[in-house]
Structure 1
Amino acid sequence: MNKVSAGAAEAVADITDGASLAVGGFGLSGVPEVLLRALYAQGADGLRVVSNNCGVDGRGLGVLLAAGRIARVTGSYVGENKEFARQYLAGELEVELVPQGTLAERLRAGGAGIPAFYTPAGVGTQVERGGLPWRYTAEGAVELASPPKETREFAGRRHVLEHGITTDFALVRAWRGDRHGNLRFRQAAANFNPLAATSGRVTIAEVEELVEPGELRPDEIHLPGIYVQRVVTLTAEEAADKHMEKRTVRV
């Protein structure tokens, strides 16, 4: 039951080229930075990533992206990452853009063993009809586009069929965790982290504070340890190394 790894490098050592990864975080909040840096050092290539966004230039998934180690991204937001946009438009990266709520539910469904579900999100758009560019050529033409989705009517309203997502690995960050893998997330870090964690066949969690089993009350646990296979304890410096996409001040 002791799931604590010796360090981040050991925890990500068996992630192979071409592996699929669900990665928690939203913007730069709750991003498993230490595990991502360890994966960068480990050298895995051709990764297929599922995450709300791809970090920013030089932070989060942006580190792997800049190194050309990500082959495909399933996400909902390109956002502040200029290299992400450049690679996508240059035909170097395959990108499946998904409505944000749909992406969250696809991860949740995969983790719950639900193969597919119907949703009204995207009805009447290219999400339903197909044709969203997944990959461009170097010349800017669409090389690969999304297929049309199955639809069905419920209570007089049309819905599209979306498939649950499962991945080979999941990388998440938690505020507190115990040796059994029970996790508690804090504030905005409780975004895509619990959903990503459930969808991974092997889930690796970096935790800012490691506590002993029993110190987390049952009603404090956001993610039961059954979903977590490995726990990495952060140093005080690693736990405090938090960045934001944009700083806004009042003049």
Structure 2
Amino acid sequence: VELTPQGTLAERMRSGGAGIPAFYTPAGVGTMVAEGGLPLRYDGDGGVAVASEPKEVREFDGTPYVLERAIVTDFALVHAHRADTAGNLQFRGTARNFNPDVAMAGRITIVQAEEIVAAGEIDPADVHLPGIFVQRLVEVGRQETGVEIEKLSSRGEDRS
């Protein structure tokens, strides 16, 4: 497990997908993220067996930045709303936030799509991730869990 600020995680994945090996960010300067010592592995007695190493810090225009390495994964598992047979993807809602970066960071990206349509059926302007980043497609259909995760309520009235 590695502690990484959320924006830094997204940029590490985006950089990995873009072929950029590392980048500098101000996030984490002056913390254990930059200075090292964060537990990476614990021993059997609850002590720290392996701690993180310090990261390179450089100053640009008077502001310190931490060097963060890109993330490239062997596999990326992604869920898409729609895909075409060429691997072009459309995401729905907040799935658009991280899924493109996750897919780009994977050497092999496996996509489960609710619907797979013929190549060309998705308007190019509506493609959220081009098929060049996708190696495998699996159609899973619309998944209904039967569990409501949102509850509509208004002041003074409980609708649970």
- Secondary structure of the 1:192 match is helix
Contact 2:20 2:70 in 1 (8 A): yes
- Secondary structure of the 1:165 match is coil
Aligned counterpart, 1:129: 35
| Closer, same or farther: CA 232–242 of 1 in aligned 2, 3 Å | farther
* Aligned with 1:202 (options 108, 115, 130): 108
Cα deviation for residue 211 of structure 1 reads 1.2
What percentage of aligned pairs have identical amino acids? 58
Runs of 5+ consecutive residues of structure 1 not aligned to the other structure:
1-94
CA distance in 2, matches of 1:149, 1:130: 7
* CA RMSD between the two structures: 1.6
* Residue 84 of structure 2 is aligned to residue 168 of structure 1: no
* Aligned with 2:99 (options 165, 179, 193): 193
Cα deviation for residue 248 of structure 1 reads 4.5
Counting only pairs closer than 5 Å after superposition, residues 105-184 of structure 1 correspond to structure 2 as 105-184=11-90
Higher strand share: 2
* Residue 10 of structure 2 is aligned to residue 104 of structure 1: yes
With normalisation by structure 1, the TM-score equals 0.59
Cα deviation for residue 185 of structure 1 reads 0.4
With normalisation by structure 2, the TM-score equals 0.90
Higher helix share: 1
Q: How many residues align?
A: 154
- Secondary structure of the 1:101 match is helix
Aligned counterpart, 1:225: 131
Deviation track 1:20-75 (CA, whole Å, cap 9, x = no partner) reads xxxxxxxxxxxxxxxxxxxxxxxxxxxxxxxxxxxxxxxxxxxxxxxxxxxxxxxx
Larger Rg: 2
| Closer, same or farther: CA 101–222 of 1 in aligned 2, 3 Å | same
The amino acid of 2:144's aligned partner reads A
Contact 2:113 2:141 in 1 (8 A): no
Runs of 5+ consecutive residues of structure 2 not aligned to the other structure:
none
| Closer, same or farther: CA 243–207 of 1 in aligned 2, 3 Å | farther
The amino acid of 1:158's aligned partner reads P
CA distance in 1, matches of 2:146, 2:8: 28
Counting only pairs closer than 5 Å after superposition, residues 72-83 of structure 1 correspond to structure 2 as none
Cα deviation for residue 247 of structure 1 reads 4.5
CA distance in 2, matches of 1:227, 1:142: 38
